[in-house]
Amino acid sequence: MNLFFSHGKESGPWGFKIKRLAKIATAKGYSVDSIDYRDSLDPDLRVERLLTHLRQETQPFILVGSSMGGYVSLVASAAVQTRALFLIAPALYIPSFKTQQYASTAAHIEIVHGWADAVIPVQNSIDFAREADCSLHLISGDHPLNTSIESVETLFARFLDSVSTPGAH
């Protein structure tokens, strides 16, 4: 199965978090790619770039997004058939972003958000998780969650195990 990462506003396609999570995914047999959005700060242009890439996919895939990449992955997931979503401190309900109500084709969605996030309010993930009736993991950490990377890795590994099991959500 293929797995696509979408990075945040100011990071890159192979930043610290993505490298760590990609290693886990690769070890579990996933084919991993990370889209490069560094030439655009517009979240909705990033959504279009991801959709252009995903519409060429013939294999099942999972989307993983961090911060603005979480928004990109979630919004794109409404237009394509994705197996699952893993969102890390997703930039949801940001007034300047085009989409404010979220739908997804994913049967399985999990969110990880740090309690001390001063960039994206934790309440935004709480609100979305309630609306989507999905799993939300609130952990110690700030927006990048770099100091809590081991917790993120554990949750990500469990997420991958749950979506790769036959009959999983």
pLDDT for the residue numbered 10: 87
User: Distance (Å, rounded) from C-alpha 106 to C-alpha 112?
Assistant: 17
pLDDT for the residue numbered 165: 55
One-letter amino acid for residue 132 of the chain: A
pLDDT for the residue numbered 168: 44
User: Distance (Å, rounded) from C-alpha 56 to C-alpha 41?
Assistant: 24
Q: Rounded to the nearest 5°, which phi and psi values hold at 126?
A: -60, -45
User: Distance (Å, rounded) from C-alpha 141 to C-alpha 103?
Assistant: 27
pLDDT for the residue numbered 167: 42
Q: Which pTM was predicted? A: 0.95
* Domains and their CATH numbers in the chain: 2-164 (3.40.50.1820)
Phi-psi region of 93 (alpha: psi -120 to 50; beta: other; left: phi over 0): left
User: Distance (Å, rounded) from C-alpha 157 to C-alpha 169?
Assistant: 16
pLDDT tens, residue order, the chain (169 aa): 999 999 999 899 999 999 999 999 999 999 999 999 999 999 999 999 999 999 999 999 999 999 999 999 999 999 999 999 999 999 999 999 999 999 999 999 999 999 999 999 999 999 999 999 999 999 999 999 999 999 999 999 999 999 985 444 4
